[in-house]
Amino acid sequence: MLLHFTKMHGLGNDFMVVDLITQRARLLDEQVRELADRHFGIGFDQLLIVEPPLDPDMDFRYRIFNADGSEVENCGNGARCFARFVRDQRLTHKHEIHVETRGGPLTLKVENDGRVSVDMGVPRFAPQSLPFEADEDRLRHRLEVDGETHEIGVASMGNPHAVLRVEDIDTAPVARLGPAIEAHPRFPRRVNVGFMQVVSPHEIRLRVFERGSGETMACGTGACAAVACGIRQGLLESPVTVHLRGGDLTIAWPDQDAPLVMTGPVVRVFDGRVALS
């Protein structure tokens, strides 16, 4: 069968987006991995699926699959692409869109300038929310990795994140520590790993090693988790500009009991059809 799709990206974090409301398909893990291959497939960091909601109060169900075929709870850059996609496809005419994810409900708002704001909910720091094996909730946790001790903040944005503060992200050992922390036994469901350089109270630079995908050009939930940890630790103040390798996001979290809001751009790259075996 031929599957219609759209290729999109948010700050270089790229996606294959599929409407499974007007067409029907069932993608197996192996098919997702084949489609994600940048030499033999479409090539993407994540596959985004649009489905009818299970909750009648929601507009859509939003599902996310990593390049390795694993389904995950949330993706912030993907959520912005999702909002633009459902409007471009005329699946909705709303500017404020409510979607359900494995990590909980999200509210997406398409701004007049074309950017998309996402109500990401209230960050959670309790270790069991990731999950992360720790006796208590702390601002920083010590983690033994390859004979070294690192201090990390942990946060759930519907998906799990570990955040390390570094002096310079250009020289940070992302390729070495990223996969080691991602698969650390204290994170039984693995974890996304952010390397954060604080430039000022309102500005950071960030690289993210994503669970199941490796380092990406940008990570929306990673940006949110880094800012949330930074504000909680007294390093940052809302709003914060996050400089990622693919571009900039704005993260606002003026009240730690309020939802965190992420705003950034979206690009539609091309539409296509692919034959599924």
Domain range annotation of the chain? 2-121+265-275, 127-258
**Is 229 a residue of the active site?**
no
Among 75, 81, 224, 229, the one annotated catalytic: 75
Which token pair is 230? 């930074």
- What b/e sequence results for 202-220 when a residue is b if at least 16 CB atoms lie within 10 Å of its CB, and e otherwise? eebbbbbbbbbbbbbbbbb
What are the binding residues?
13, 46, 66, 76-77, 159, 192, 210-211, 220-221
127-258: CATH class: alpha beta
Check whether domain 2-121+265-275 has CATH 3.65.10.10, yes or no: no
**Is 75 a residue of the active site?**
yes
Cβ 95 vs Cβ 110: under 8 Å: yes
Confidence of residue 250 (pLDDT cuts 50, 70, 90): very high
Among 81, 219, 224, 229, the one annotated catalytic: 219
Cβ 273 vs Cβ 3: under 8 Å: yes
**pTM for the complete prediction?**
0.91
Average predicted confidence (pLDDT) for the chain: 96
Given a cut of 80, is residue 217 above it in pLDDT? yes
Average pLDDT (22-41) is: 95
Confidence of residue 21 (pLDDT cuts 50, 70, 90): very high
Given a cut of 80, is residue 277 above it in pLDDT? no
39-87 pLDDT, tens digit per residue, is 999 999 999 999 999 999 999 999 999 999 999 999 999 999 999 999 9
Confidence of residue 193 (pLDDT cuts 50, 70, 90): very high
Same fold, 2-121+265-275 and 127-258: yes
